[in-house]
Amino acid sequence: SAAPATADAPAAPAGPGGPGGGYTPAQLVKAYGLSGLTGGNDGSGKTVGLVEFDGFNQSDVNGWADHFGLGAIPYKVVPVDGGISSVGDPLEANMDIDAVAAFAPKASQLIYEAPNTDAAWTDMMARIASDDDIDVLTTSWGNGESCASSSLISASHDSFNQMALQGVTLLSASGDRGAYGCAYAGDYTQQMVYPASDPLFTGVGGTKLTTSDSAGTYSGEAVWNNSNDNSKNDRSAGGPSNIYPKPDWQPGTGKARMVPDVSLVADFQAGGLSVLNNGQWVSAGGTSLSAPLWAGYIALLDQKGGKRLGQLDATLYGLAAGSGASTYFHDVTTGDNGTYKAGTGYDMCTGLGSFRGDALGDALLGGNTPPPSTDFGVTVSPASGSVTAGSATTATVSVSAGTTPPSSVALTASGAPSGVSVSFDPSAVAPGKSSTATFTTTASTAPGTYDITLTGTAGSATHTAHYALTVTAQGGTKPTLTNPGTQTAYQNRATGLTPVATGGTTPYRWSATGLPKGLAINSSTGVISGTPSAWGNYNTQLTVTDANGKSATVSFYWFVFLAS
């Protein structure tokens, strides 16, 4: 039998408690304040896409999950351009899979695998955008901005823009070489890693995490920097982009996009994540750990909120600029990455800092929400659908079981517009079961997109999910608008664009929002012209409407650079 504890008994050691010298998933949940979020969410029903150019060991991943009692991780390999013919070093992919599962063990993982070539990278991004199967994308792979070809960056950005329009949250490791993103190729000019520098992405830097006890209680963080020589390796990457101007949502007086945006644990020497690799336990890290950990966190929030969070940066910077910044972030003020120093507020070592999980999650989901339910949850898949007036569409409403589930949950809908009815078959289900929701419209239903609330009720407990129903008008075809792709221009130099639309019924009417300052659109012809008066990164939305009131909209980025 165990001896009773006494006041003189030594305290459990602080720091990493996992095999190989890394932190355990439970310790990281504790350190980053995720106990409330993980108490009722595990990523179920959400999908994280992983970018991989080397393979993983299934036995390592399964052994890791078994060791930490997480059960089987739901994953599927999606080969692109032939996929991976043989596994070289599995550590990167093993770590990525484990890191997502550390916070969201039941989030589905689509592991996109391709040969390590520029063409395969471009094809992979196009495939991910075309599939539209993921809620979150995380990549630990990237290129220095000058090491990546302009065609790769242009084509990739178009794919990322498509993903952003789908509501996918895009996360990228900022890199492990300080301000020298192309140092791996012997280029020691200062530059960032792409795609972390793309404003569509949240770039994730790295920290050295310290904890005060064996449970993982947070003690502090410093900039990750293990580099003791001129190799530029093993340090949180950050600095100004050589490609993208500073977005409106970033602080400071600089003219360039700054990286990273946020950070998380990366220091594998002080304690990264315990990972099983080729049958051996190691402490794995780098910003290649930080980014997929963030991806697992966002998957939890997507599950809790019942929707894709989408683009994070503007919201994150807005929260950090308010009086409650210290409620949402651990501001990392100690250390440097060899070029830039950490400081109060935003810095180009760790960005805004690391998350205080539950508090930041509440803010990202729209306010201080109650703790996760211990009775049941409600989700809908897909979360949106389109239907022609006079017809119907369906979605699956799933009721998950908490720790103390009721025997039955009644399903109802609210917020449907005139002419739309919602029915459930069955109308009540036991937790763990699902129902088919049918959204039926009449011929007179007005075109538009409607937010319909689906509510599950058991006694006094209610939980909701949201479904976005788009109704289109009967008869004829809607116009088709060609996306012109990313546009570039220079301040104080005339520029223009002639969009192309087909189909529908002419004449067309044109409109646009988010145009660069100094440009205007001709509402009859659609021609956009003028002289940009201010440099910046503009998210432009272009709409064409035909004579029957049917419209098409595309969104693209228009980058205005300072004239040389």
Phi and psi dihedrals of 122, rounded to 5?
Answer: -60, -45
Answer yes or no: do 465 and 491 share one domain: no
- Pairing of β 480-481 and β 239-245: unpaired
pLDDT on residue 403: 64
Check the CA dihedral 29-35-39-43 and report its sign: negative
pLDDT on residue 230: 52
Q: Which residues are catalytic?
A: 92, 96, 288
Instruction: Report yes or no on 170 lying in a domain.
Output: yes
- Of the candidates 447, 470, 469, 451, the residue with the CA atom closest to the CA atom of residue 545: 447
Q: Which of 472, 495, 521 is the last residue of a domain?
A: 472
Answer yes or no: do 318 and 382 share one domain: no
Contacts of 382 (CB under 8 A, 6+ apart): 395
Answer yes or no: do 240 and 199 share one domain: yes
Instruction: Report yes or no on 76 lying in a domain.
Output: yes
Answer yes or no: do 459 and 497 share one domain: no
Strand segments (E) across 251-388 = 256-259, 262-265, 273-277, 280-284, 329-330, 354-355, 376-381, 384-388
Instruction: Report yes or no on 11 lying in a domain.
Output: no
Cis peptide leading into residue 372 (ω within 30°): no
Phi and psi dihedrals of 140, rounded to 5?
Answer: -100, 0
Answer yes or no: do 339 and 231 share one domain: yes
- Of the candidates 260, 56, 44, 46, the residue with the CA atom closest to the CA atom of residue 168: 46
Answer yes or no: do 164 and 196 share one domain: yes
Answer yes or no: do 93 and 153 share one domain: yes
Answer yes or no: do 360 and 383 share one domain: no
Range of the domain at 462: 376-472
Q: How many CB atoms lie within 10 A of CB 343?
A: 15
Q: Which of 420, 455, 472 is the last residue of a domain?
A: 472
Instruction: Report yes or no on 371 lying in a domain.
Output: no
Answer yes or no: do 531 and 454 share one domain: no
Answer yes or no: do 380 and 502 share one domain: no
Rounded to a whole number, what is the distance in angstroms from the first to the last CA of the chain?
A: 78
Answer yes or no: do 300 and 384 share one domain: no
CATH of the domain at 27: 3.40.50.200
Instruction: Report yes or no on 5 lying in a domain.
Output: no
Q: Distance between CA 348 and CA 350 in Å, rounded? A: 6
Instruction: Report yes or no on 8 lying in a domain.
Output: no
CATH of the domain at 404: 2.60.40.10
pLDDT on residue 7: 32
Total number of domains constituting the chain: 3
Instruction: Report yes or no on 334 lying in a domain.
Output: yes
> Which residues in the chain land under pLDDT 70?
1-13, 228-232, 367-374, 402-403, 475-476, 564
Answer yes or no: do 484 and 457 share one domain: no
465-486 pLDDT, tens digit each: 778 788 887 766 788 999 998 8
Instruction: Report yes or no on 369 lying in a domain.
Output: no
Q: Which of 364, 399, 421 is the last residue of a domain?
A: 364
Tokens of 280: 């051996």
